[in-house]
Amino acid sequence: MPSQPSRELETFPNPFPERDYTIRIKIPEFTCLCPKTGQPDFATLHLEYVPDRTCVELKSLKLYIWSYRDQGAFHEAVTNQILDDLVAACTPRFMRLRAEFNVRGGIYTTVVAEYRQPEWDAPEVVRLP
């Protein structure tokens, strides 16, 4: 049976919960509809997070992204909503979503939103020379 778009995000247990580590995901194929004109909008999504107990399952993430294909969505609102949905699904220690929308009217727009567990402390970044 072919797969279907779905808002159900699935997760799997974090295999190394004792360690803060980074998962970065690039999704170049996000598309939704402009609520004003009804015409398609396109964006590349950049997600990065530190998992806590669970990680986002990639196939369900793909179906979730697909679910926006026929939905009207403003740039600022949809970026924050996708972040909220992902946070609700896996409650990461930290998560950042950057949505780079395609040019419209000669103007390029990017929206970036973050979530952080209130009690989580970002580890000191070691920069090697």
Residues that bind its own copies in the complex, under the rule CB under 8 A: 2-4, 14-16, 19, 21-29, 31, 36-40, 42, 48, 50-51, 55, 58-59, 61-62, 66, 69, 74, 76-77, 79-80, 94, 96, 98, 102-114, 116, 122-129
Distance (Å, whole) CA 103 – CA 87: 28
Minimum separation from the CB atom of position 13 to Ca ion (A): 26
Closest by Cα among 33, 45, 42 to 82: 45
Among 6, 37, 71, 102, the residue binding Ca ion under the rule CB under 5 A is 102
Q: Is 34 one of the catalytic residues?
A: yes
Neighbouring C-beta atoms of residue 32, cutoff 10 Å? 21
Q: Is 20 one of the catalytic residues?
A: no
- What is the DSSP pairing of strand 40-50 with strand 94-101? antiparallel
Q: Check the annotation: does 63 bind a ligand.
A: no
